[in-house]
């Protein structure tokens, strides 16, 4: 039975470019197309209206509501029955870093892309808004989705996350989408080795790599950067991970098949970093850990699952 305690996590407004001076008719210096400014203003307006609408709906249903901007989130999320994020996938990902497997989460895409708008401005600028791939709701259907959740008609899916040990020390943040291991300068070669081990299974061959880095994704993250890089989409319920060596430099013929593959649920990837410096990024650029020559990284799906209410297209 729902105790009706809800954390409402909000995308902040400062992600939109500041507009302290200038108007659409008198744009800021360097802006060649004043329509872009009106477009940015509209994005901020739509986001604010969605936040206000969601708050109104929650208050009408007499829920115990705590609104928090995502930048102010610093402690593990506890003592609530449901987390609702209002923004896009980035807000949901940030919330996931503070959650265990006991609380479900649902995302509201506050500013979904408008197909006609993209067509209208395609020759002027990129009018793509928020993808919200993992978000189950928008302002248009938020109340319906919320009612289905509160009344028990909609069940959360259990999504795998990536567990990371750096030099044998488990990191407290689990990746819901992916991790990237690379040199801090994208033009510099990343040098590392890796092998895949499993309980009672023979280890894979050791791969020594010179490349642009290593990406590992969950099933949920397989349709993001991994797919853009040439990977393949995975069923969202899969517990396996997908990995890809980015732009490998002259791999041996027997190593080519090992540049891209699967880390199964009962397997672990053990990697060693051999460049002077490096960075391990978790779900984008906001959460990262510095690497030094000789550091070891253990990667697996042995992390607490995350309970997420998903949109219908991910459940089919």
Alpha-carbon span 118 to 230, nearest angstrom: 25
- State the Cα angle at 2 between 57 and 96, rounded to 5°: 75
DSSP assignment of the chain, as one string? ----EEEEEE--GGGSPP-SS--SSSPPTT-S-THHHHHHHHHHHHHHHHHHHHHHHHHHTT-EEEEEEGGG--S---S-SEEEEEE-HHHHHHHHTT--SSS-EEEEESSB--HHHHHHTTTTS----B--TT--B-TTTHHHHHHHHHTT-S--EEE--BEEEETTEE-SPPBSSEEEEE-SSTTSPEEEEEEEEETTBPPPPPEEEEES-EEEE-SGGGGTHHHHTT-----TT---EEEEESS-SS--TTTGGGGEEEE-TTEEEEEEE-SSEEEEEETTTTEEEEEETT-EEEEES-S--EEEE--GGGT-
Angle between helices 35-60 and 142-150 (to 10 degrees): 30
Cβ–Cβ under 8 Å, residues 53 and 244: no
- Annotated active-site residue in 14, 56, 89, 111: 89
Concerning whether 89 is annotated as a catalytic residue, the answer is yes
Closest CA to 177 of 278, 68, 266, 91: 91
Catalytic residues: 89
């Amino acid at each position: 039975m729902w105790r009706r305690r809800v954390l409402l996590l909000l995308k902040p407004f400062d992600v939109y470019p500041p507009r302290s001076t200038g108007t659409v008719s008198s744009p800021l210096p360097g802006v060649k197309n004043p329509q872009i400014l009106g477009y940015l203003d509209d994005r901020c307006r739509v986001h604010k209206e969605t936040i206000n609408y969601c708050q109104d709906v929650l208050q009408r249903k007499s829920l115990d509501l705590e609104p928090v901007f995502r930048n102010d989130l610093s402690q593990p999320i506890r003592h609530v029955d449901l987390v609702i994020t209002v923004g896009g996938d980035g807000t949901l990902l940030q919330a996931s870093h503070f959650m265990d497997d006991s609380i479900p989460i649902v995302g509201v895409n506050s500013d979904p892309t408008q197909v006609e708008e993209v067509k209208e401005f395609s020759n002027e600028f990129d009018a793509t808004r928020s993808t919200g791939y993992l978000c189950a709701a928008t302002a248009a259907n938020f109340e319906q989705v919320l009612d289905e959740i509160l009344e028990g008609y909609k069940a959360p899916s259990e999504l795998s996350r990536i567990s990371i040990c750096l030099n044998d020390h488990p990191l407290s943040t689990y990746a819901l989408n992916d991790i990237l291991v690379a040199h801090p300068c994208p033009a510099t070669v990343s040098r590392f080795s890796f092998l895949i081990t499993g309980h009672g299974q023979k280890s894979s061959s050791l791969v020594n790599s010179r490349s642009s880095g290593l990406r590992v994704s969950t099933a949920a993250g397989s349709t993001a950067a991994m797919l853009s890089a040439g990977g393949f989409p995975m069923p969202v319920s899969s517990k396996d991970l997908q990995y890809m060596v980015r732009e490998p430099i002259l791999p041996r013929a027997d190593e080519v098949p090992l540049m891209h593959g699967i880390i199964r649920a009962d397997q672990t990837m053990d990697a060693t970093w051999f460049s002077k410096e490096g960075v391990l990024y978790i779900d984008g650029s906001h959460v990262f850990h510095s690497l030094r020559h000789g550091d070891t990284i253990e990667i697996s799906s042995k992390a607490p699952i995350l309970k997420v209410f998903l949109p219908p297209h991910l459940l089919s």
